Amino acid sequence: MKMWSGRFSQGPDAEFERWQRSFPFDRVLLPHEVAASKAHATALAKAGVLTSDELATTLFALDQIGREGTPEADEPTIEDVHHYVEARLFELVGEVGYKLHTGRSRNEQIATDLRLYVREQTDETTRLLAEFASTFVKQAEEAGDSAMPAYTHLQRAEPVLVAHWLLAYVEMFLRDIDRLSDCRKRLNVCPLGSGAVAGTILPLDREAIASLLEFDSPTANSMDATSDRDFAIEFVQALAFVALHLSRWAEEFILFSTTEFGFVKLPEEYSTGSSAMPQKKNPDALELIRGKAGKVFAEATALFSGMKGLPLAYNKDLQETQQPVFSAAQQVSGMVRVATGFMGAVEFNYAAMQRAASCGFMNAQAAAAYLVRQGMPFRRAHELIGKAVRLCVEQSCELEQLSRDDYALCGIDADQQFYNALALNEVLAIHNVPGGTAATRVREALQTAKEKLSQFVGVAHACS
C-alpha cells in the first residue's frame, strides 16, 4: 500500500514517481530504520497502542527484516526505506504492521536514521584514522635518528628528523579525529517523538526512546529536529578536512618518490606500470587519493548549498542531503584504507635523505645561532653568515668547508667550536624545545602520539 494515497483521486505521473524515490540510495539506512522502529514500537506499547503480544510480534518481525537486508534488486513500488520496512512488516505480520506508524512521521524517522548513520560512520572513520596515524608512528620509530631536509617554499630550509616529519602528519589526523568527536557530541540527540513538525500526538516516553538508541537525550524542538542537517554538514566538512590532509600527504609522497628526490621507494603493491614505457612505476594509489579529495570537497559544498535558504521545517529538498553523506563517507573510508596499506608497505631511502640533510647550507641558521651565543646580535650574525654563504656559492662548497681565513674575510672568528656547531647532529640538537626536532623532543612527541592514538583504536567496536 502507498503511504499517502487516500487524499488523491489519481496516482502520480510515472516519470515523476520514479524520479522522486529515494529507496535506490536510502536503502543503506535499513539497519538504522529497523533500530529506530524497534524503539518506537517499544514506546507505543508503553503508551498502550500496542499490546505486549503485538509488540513481541512487531519486534520479532523487525529483527527479521534487519537480518534479511534490503532486496538485491530495486523495488519500483517502494518509495523509500521507511515505506520498505512498513510494507515488509505488513507482509510478515499483517494488519498489526500498520500500527507501527502511529504517532510518528517519516520526517522524524529520516532525521533519526541519518543521525544514526553519521554516528556509526564517525566512529568507523575515527578507528580508520587512528589505524592510519599509527602507521606513521611505527615508521617514525623505525626511522630512529635519521635526518632529512625540511622545506619552506619547497626550498631546503633546515634539517629535521624523519620521525619529526612523519609526526607532523599524525598531528593533522589527530585534529581530524578531534573534529569528528566534536561533531559526534552535537549529533547525538534523538529526534523521535518530534512527529511531522509539531511533536508527536501520543504521550510517548521520549527519554526512553532516546536511551534505547544510545542517544544522550531527545532533541529540544520538534521543528528544528525534523529539519536540521547541521550534523550531516559538520560530518562531511570533517571528512573534507581528512581528504585535504590525505591529498597533502599524497602529493608530498609523490614528490619524494621522484628520481629527483629519491626519498620514498614506492611499494609495488600500491603502484602500477605503464602500457607504453617499460621502465615506469607510477604512484597511482597516491594520485587517486589526491584526485578523490576533490570529490569529497564537492559533496561538502553540495550539502552546504542545498541547505541554504530552507524555511522551517521539513522540505523535500532534505532528501537530497543523503547522498553527499553516503558518498563522502564511502570515498574517505576507501582513501584511508588504501593510504594505511601504502604507509605500512612504503620504505624510505634513509641514506638519500641523510645526504640531502647534510648539504645546501641548512646549517646556516645554526651557524648564526652559534655567533649569537658568543654575544653577537642576531641581525649582525645573519648578515655575516649570509656573506659566508655567498662565498660558498662562489666556491661551490658548504659552510663547513670554508677556511678560517675565508670566515675572517666575512668578519667571523671561526674557531673549532664554530665548526663543531655546523655538524648535522649539532644542528638538529639546538632545536631543543617542545615541538622541535631535537632527538629527545621527538622521542617525547612519539610517546605522546602513541598514547593519544591508543585510546581510539577499536573505538568503533566499543560503541557498536
Give the residue, chosen from 35, 93, 100, 110, that forms a contact with ligand ARG under the rule CB under 6 A: 110
Q: Which is nearer to ligand ARG, 221 or 319 (CB)?
A: 319
Nearest approach, Cβ of residue 184 and ligand ARG (Å) = 22
Please pick, among 9, 153, 396, 461, the residue that the annotation labels catalytic.
153
d(CA 168, CA 248): 12
| Residue 282 DSSP one-character state | B
Please pick, among 101, 217, 247, 274, the residue that the annotation labels catalytic.
274
Nearest approach, Cβ of residue 307 and ligand ARG (Å) = 13
Only one of the segments 146-154, 317-325, 381-389, 409-417 lies at the binding site for ligand ARG (rule: CB under 6 A); that segment is 317-325
Q: CB burial class (10 A; 0-12, 13-18, 19+) of residue 1? A: exposed
Q: Which is nearer to ligand ARG, 139 or 226 (CB)?
A: 226
Give the residue, chosen from 318, 329, 353, 392, that forms a contact with ligand ARG under the rule CB under 6 A: 318
Collapsing DSSP states into helix, strand and coil, what is residue 190? Answer: strand
Give the residue, chosen from 42, 58, 70, 107, that forms a contact with ligand ARG under the rule CB under 6 A: 107
Q: CB burial class (10 A; 0-12, 13-18, 19+) of residue 384? A: middle
274 catalytically annotated: yes
Q: Which of 358, 384, 347, 448 is nearest to 133 (CA)?
A: 448
313 upstream amide cis, omega within 30 of 0: yes
Collapsing DSSP states into helix, strand and coil, what is residue 348? Answer: strand
Instruction: Say whether residue 227 binds ligand ARG (CB under 6 A).
Output: no
Q: CB burial class (10 A; 0-12, 13-18, 19+) of residue 4? A: exposed
Only one of the segments 122-130, 318-326, 426-434, 455-463 lies at the binding site for ligand ARG (rule: CB under 6 A); that segment is 318-326
Nearest approach, Cβ of residue 99 and ligand ARG (Å) = 20
Distance from the Cα of residue 296 to its chain's centroid: 10
464 catalytically annotated: no
Inter-CA distances, 446 with 308, 328, 451, Å:
43, 31, 9
Only one of the segments 56-64, 203-211, 313-321, 340-348 lies at the binding site for ligand ARG (rule: CB under 6 A); that segment is 313-321
Give the residue, chosen from 102, 146, 272, 319, that forms a contact with ligand ARG under the rule CB under 6 A: 319
Neighbours of 229 (CB within 10 A): 26
Give the residue, chosen from 231, 314, 348, 419, that forms a contact with ligand ARG under the rule CB under 6 A: 314
Helix-then-strand count for the chain, H and E:
20, 6
Per CB under 6 A, contacts with ligand ARG among 59-98 are 80
Nearest approach, Cβ of residue 441 and ligand ARG (Å) = 51
d(CA 259, CA 149): 16
Asked if 89 and 97 count as a contact pair (C-beta separation under 8 A), the reply is yes
Nearest approach, Cβ of residue 322 and ligand ARG (Å) = 6
| Active-site residue set | 153, 274
Residues that bind ligand ARG (CB under 6 A): 22, 80, 106-107, 110, 314, 316, 318-319, 322
